[in-house]
Amino acid sequence: MTPINKITQGNAPHKQADRKSTAGDQLLKINDLHVWFEMRKWGFRHAGFVRAVDGVTFNLRNNETIAIVGESGCGKTSLMRTILLLNRPTKGEVSFEGAAINNLKANDLKNYRSHVGYVQQDPYGAMPPFMNIQNILEEPLKINGVKDATERFNRVKKALEEVKMSPAEEFMAKFPHQLSGGQQQRVVIARAMIMEPQLLIADEPVSMLDASVRVEILKLLRGLQNKHNLGVIYITHDLSTVRYFSEQIFVMYAGQVVERGNVKQMLQNTKHPYTFALLEATSDPDANNAIIQKEVPPGEPPSLVNPPAGCRFHPRCPHVIQSLCEVEEPPEFEPEAGHRVKCWLLK
């Protein structure tokens, strides 16, 4: 594998050799990222933009997990697709190990993608039903030029053993439909890990699984992360799992990060009304839940074509400040170190 920074004009000093040893290093840096999709009328006339991601900034270090939480349509998936370079950023900068990746092409792009693993939401939908597990896991190796069949076989075997699917030979001959949901998700994780990436993007990896195996899969991901010093972006809408599997939580609403901080700050010292609402709506098993009505903000997330002026949450917010929230966009306040909140209440 060529180190990514060698081929991208080499403006970063790291080398492949010292990558693993430099824990806490910058792995992925995103600065004021905007992803807008153009809408067209009659196929050619400009008709506005869908502002899927509107000004997101973060740093991800090795061996760190960032959980991105938000409802559907808040831009989580667009953000993830941009990091995978399936979309191109409209504005702003994405850099991986110090090298900008905005405009990677052809072989550089292929090489970059081999450094990034991707765990899909629906494991069955993510695997071709006509290929057996061995072929599925070999595919990334073939694409990235591993020509020796024995080496491929050994790496597939190792990857399967790493996700605790043994005896590996037995599973290799099977097809996706012969596996249970949890096993399918393990294969998807093995596929994401087979190129030994530094960054893993997990898009709701457990939302399609049974409660009894969810925790198992999250613990498996955690173990792989510690072993390989991975940076992980964990995308989810389920706040009850983030506590076990992340260092930082980012809450997204309508294309923007409205609150971010470490897990403790976010869960015990919640500041943004939207984060409050999400926490309030998440149930813990308790029979008293059946008696009380929950407080849920009215309405639905806004359209990303014409987001509301000022704070994007103000039409649904119970604490709206008249003639401020609906006029001016709140800046990021920092009530405590590392905890940033985009809300006028902290003024």
Partner 1 sequence: MAENNYLLDIQDLKLHFRTTKGTVQAVDGVNFQLKPNQAVVVVGESGCGKTSLAKAVLRLLPRNVEQYSGKVYLDDIETMALEDEDYRKRIRWVKMSLVPQAAMNSLNPVLRVGDQVAEPMMVHYGVKKEEAMQQAIKMFQHVGVPVDFINRYAFELSGGMRQRVALAMSLVTAPALVMLDEPTSALDVLTQANIFNLLKRIKSEMATSFVLITHDIATSSELADRVAVMYAGQIVEVSDAFHFFKEPRHPYSAKLMASVPKLRGTAEPDFITGQPPSLINPPTGCRFAARCPRRFAKCADEPPTVIIGEDLVKCWLYV
Contacts to partner 1 by CB under 8 A: 71-72, 180-182, 210-216, 219, 237-241, 243-244, 267, 277-287, 289-290, 293-294, 296-297, 300
Smallest distance from partner 1 to CB 188, Å: 17
d(CA 68, CA 33): 15
Q: Measured from the CB of residue 248, what is the shortest distance to partner 1 in angstroms?
A: 17
H helices within 8-48, ranges in order? 16-19
CB of 241 to partner 1, least distance (A): 5
286 or 337: whose CB is closer to partner 1?
286
For the bound state, the minimum distance from the C-beta of residue 135 to partner 1, rounded and expressed in Å, comes to: 24
| Non-local CB neighbours of 323 within 8 Å, separated by 6+ positions | none
As measured in angstroms, the least distance from the Cβ of 256 to partner 1 is: 17
Tokens describing residue 223: 């173990």
Q: 339-341 and 256-262: which strand pairing? A: antiparallel
Residue 107: Cβ-neighbour burial (10 angstroms; 0-12, 13-18, 19+): exposed
Peptide bond into 167 cis (omega under 30): yes
Could you tell me the smallest distance in angstroms from the CB atom of residue 209 to partner 1? Answer: 9
Sheet strand arrangement including 99-100: 45-61, 26-41, 91-96, 99-100
Identity of the residue, 7 or 208, whose beta carbon is nearer to partner 1 in the bound complex: 208
Q: Which residue has the tokens 């006509």?
A: 130
Describe the strand order of the beta sheet including 116-119 as a list of residue ranges. 116-119, 199-203, 231-236, 65-69, 248-253, 256-262, 339-341, 333-336
Alpha-carbon torsion, ordered 302, 304, 307, 313, to 10 deg: 40
Minimum distance of partner 1 from residue 284's CB (angstroms): 5
- Cα 273 to chain centroid, rounded: 23
